[in-house]
Chains A and B, each alone.
Chain A
Amino acid sequence: MPLVPLLAIGLMLGPVAAGLWGTVLPAFGQMRVIGEFESPLEPFRILFNWAGLPKAVTLSITTGIGATAISLMIVSLLMAGWSGTRQFRLIERMLSPLLSVPHAAAAFGFAFLVAPSGWLSRMISPVLTGWDRPPDVLIVQDPAGLAMMLGLIIKEVPFLLLMSIAALSQSQAQSSITIAQALGYGRVTGWLKTVFPRVYHQIRLPVYVVLAYSMSVVDVALILGPNTPASLSVQIVKWMSDPDLQMRAVAAAGALIQLALVIGALAFWRITEIIAAYLGQRWITAGGRGKCDSIIGVFALFSAFVAALAIILGLLILTIWSFAGFWGFPEALPDQLTFRNWARHGPGAWQAFGETALIASVVSGIALLLSIGCLEAEHRHNVQFTRRTVWLIYLPLLVPQTAFLPGIQSLMLGIGAETGRLPVMIAHLVFVFPYVFLSLSDPYRAWDIRYATVASALGATPNRILFRIRLPMLLRPVLTAVAVGMAVSVGQYLPTLLIGGGRIETLTTEAVALASGADRRAIGVFGLMQTGAALLPFALVLIVPNILWRQRRGLRHG
């Protein structure tokens, strides 16, 4: 077997396997240093005695499945109703760069927007509402986790949309939809019946990742999620840092529950897919041409527009707070604008920006090389990453970070590895590589192999085919993959904190550290800088192909 795929799998699975080992042992009371337990199931007994467990588990399930299903629905209907239109390109231009907005920054912006004292409330108070104080209602951190679910949706819609657009270029959608419409199908119905099955096939793994991520997210849950009790992953992090060592065993038990929940939800999703496919087949063969297509289309466009607007206004409110002097309620704008907040926090933010950018660039670059190496090896040596082996690569995205990161940490300490930038990069790679591989693999595989056959027949070597034909044709997916990788790296909190021993200060660790203090001005500064760190690569994804291929229309169409 060629070297690169082995290396990649080793880099992914080594840390996860070690980390999981370090989770399973204490969960069953088998880690001496964490203390003696009367029976191996003692940690689970303590866990099940925690009164918050049913709620925490329910939260994990409802927010995870809810956020995933709603995001997928919005994206699918949006593409069904509008792909190829002017409105769609507008939404695409609005949403694509928003993928780069880190979850933490988007969540902060969302909270500053919709809280009872948030910007929306300020804009209509007191004129429309009569409020001279914010209403005492629980919007952010509501016990049902609705704010958290919405905060996830506004971030997952751009992610799934970008993945779908990348998949669409491999789906010959335009011809299908033209034929469907010629046969009298409505736009939405025709697209769902002919194109959606092909697109979904390509974005299935991103959807699973969204599901697993949404179920176990920590930073968004800390900012928007409830606290009485918190979601399971947040509670696991809290137990992990409890001075009482035995709580780490309880945390490990909780981590295994979280893992089981994620696996269960993925199984549930898979079964739903099969049922949906069966029903969908009957729906397709029934031959209905679609009745409410235009209403559904307008609804989808509106939802996507609101999602985009929520992030954009969120960034705007972060900007305003970063320049705000005193700002009481219900004033729509601060009493005065000042540079003092930037003078106070700017130097620290720039330092963290440099660290963040360095780590993100190196990690994404390595992840891209590994991904191309794997995919090219698969192509040349006919080593198939079957669906089953590919699951291994996605393991870091399906296992809650809290479950195996402390295990990685112990491993590093065990071999005497210093905490610092390099280990943080390796830890980031565990999370960044799957995303890069994930976003690149489907377009890469769906590339029409006959180009290679023709080039080969003309005497081109495999390397020449790779560099002169395949990669140039796949420029947009390649750049998208790098940008996704950088955004993922920029947003990493737990790996940076745990593996960096707190010595590596990225914009995300700084911003999350500020979150507990709720200094909205400092959060504004760091949230904006964090967003900026991830914005540039995505701008390039949109710009570079259009510049490089301005004379080649076929390559430009994503």
Chain B
Amino acid sequence: MKSKFRLEGLDCANCAAELERAIQKIEGIESVSISFMTLLMELEYEEANQEEIIEKVRKVIKKEEPDVTMEEI
């Protein structure tokens, strides 16, 4: 399963890298790539319980970068 999200409010390159590392640790996430330049996040994750996984990602973002909102595109 692949999805793309726009990350609004991401304002530092190192934060993007840290966020990427944090999301990578979530169970069910196969790969994640956050581009600070395009403000896009690409997720690859397990087909099963995808809603749960996305919810976890949302939580991690909320914790790491409270100013960032994620929106699927």
Judge: A and B partners, yes or no.
no
Measuring CB to CB, which residues of chain A are less than 8 angstroms from any residue of chain B? Answer: none
